[in-house]
Amino acid sequence: AQSVTQPDIHITVSEGASLELRCNYSYGATPYLFWYVQSPGQGLQLLLKYFSGDTLVQGIKGFEAEFKRSQSSFNLRKPSVHWSDAAEYFCAVGAGDYKLSFGAGTTVTVRA
Amino acid sequence: NAGVTQTPKFQVLKTGQSMTLQCAQDMNHEYMSWYRQDPGMGLRLIHYSVGAGITDQGEVPNGYNVSRSTTEDFPLRLLSAAPSQTSVYFCASSYSGVSTDTQYFGPGTRLTVL
């Protein structure tokens, strides 16, 4: 069965600094990988997704993620964070067509 | 488009009570799903549907029933609520599945079972 690990429960970053969120997955075949963001009290919004092709994926809000098969990783990055990036971030892996497995999430706090 | 809507936003139940969480989408999506979100555990799939009349179990289906009589609606039923079902519930939909399609999430229902 597929699984996702997000090693960092909570990250604090200064506004304007760079951000990297880690995601490791376990899946036997080529995975479908996703990053979602959840603002307080809201549902989840898709940031970006990877199916195949270029391993560096661009998403919304200035985020990007890189798929590294050798490391089973799909880390999310942003060069310069804004206060509005404070949220919870979830990595997810799709196994087949109908099931997504989510990681436990990483909460990002942005300090002024 | 309203997207994915969920009602109610908040609900408090007593142990043993039953209730239905409503979910509707107006995007003509075939695939709909229910997740529960618990602290430190991310989102876990409860049930999903790939079209009207077709449902299947996810990762944590026990204690929950679903049906899909129309494309638009996918209600989640708790037949006899238990404190372990205290959680935030999210409904999501996508065009045909999850592997390549974007899933759209509702705003969630916060359920407390006393």
Q: Quick check: A51 and B58 CB within 8 A?
A: no
Bridge partners of A66, per DSSP, are: A56, A75
pLDDT attached to residue B1: 73
pLDDT above 80 (res B73): yes
Q: What is the pLDDT of residue A28?
A: 74
The residue of chain B with its CA nearest to that of A51 is B100
The rounded distance, in Å, linking the Cα atoms of B50 and B97 is 7
Looking only at the bridges linking them, the beta strands covering B54-57 and B42-51 are: antiparallel
pLDDT tens sequence across A69-110: 999 999 999 999 999 999 999 999 987 778 888 999 999 999
Distance CA B37, CA B55 (A): 20
- Please report the pLDDT score of residue A22 as a whole number: 98
**Contacts (Cβ under 8 Å, ≥6 apart) of B9:** B107, B108, B109, B110
The nearest alpha carbon in chain A to B5 belongs to: A43
Predicted pLDDT at A29: 78
Please check the confidence at residue B8 and state whether its pLDDT lies above 90: yes
Mean pLDDT across B22-39: 96
| Interchain CB distance below 8 Å, A98 and B50 | yes
Other beta carbons within 10 Å of A14: 11
Q: How far is B18 from chain A (nearest CA, A)?
A: 24
State the best of A2, A4, A44 to mutate against chain B, taking most chain B CBs within 10 Å.
A44
Query: Residue B80 — very low, low, confident or very high, per pLDDT cuts 50/70/90?
Result: very high
The tokens 């919004």 sit on which residue?
Answer: A45
pLDDT for A75: 98
Kindly determine whether residue B99 and residue A42, on different chains, have CB atoms separated by under 8 Å.
no
Helix (H) / strand (E) element for B88: namely: strand B87-94
3-state secondary structure A55-78: CEEECHHHCEEEEEHHHCEEEEEE
Q: What is the pLDDT of residues A43-80, one digit of tens each?
A: 899 999 998 888 999 999 999 999 999 999 999 999 99
Nearest to A44 among B31, B58, B105 (CB): B105
Which one of B42, B102, B105 has the shortest CB-CB distance to A43?
Answer: B105
Of A41-50, B11-20, B55-64, least confident by mean pLDDT is A41-50
A99 to B108: CB separation less than 8 angstroms, yes or no? no
Contact B60, B46 (CB under 8 A): yes
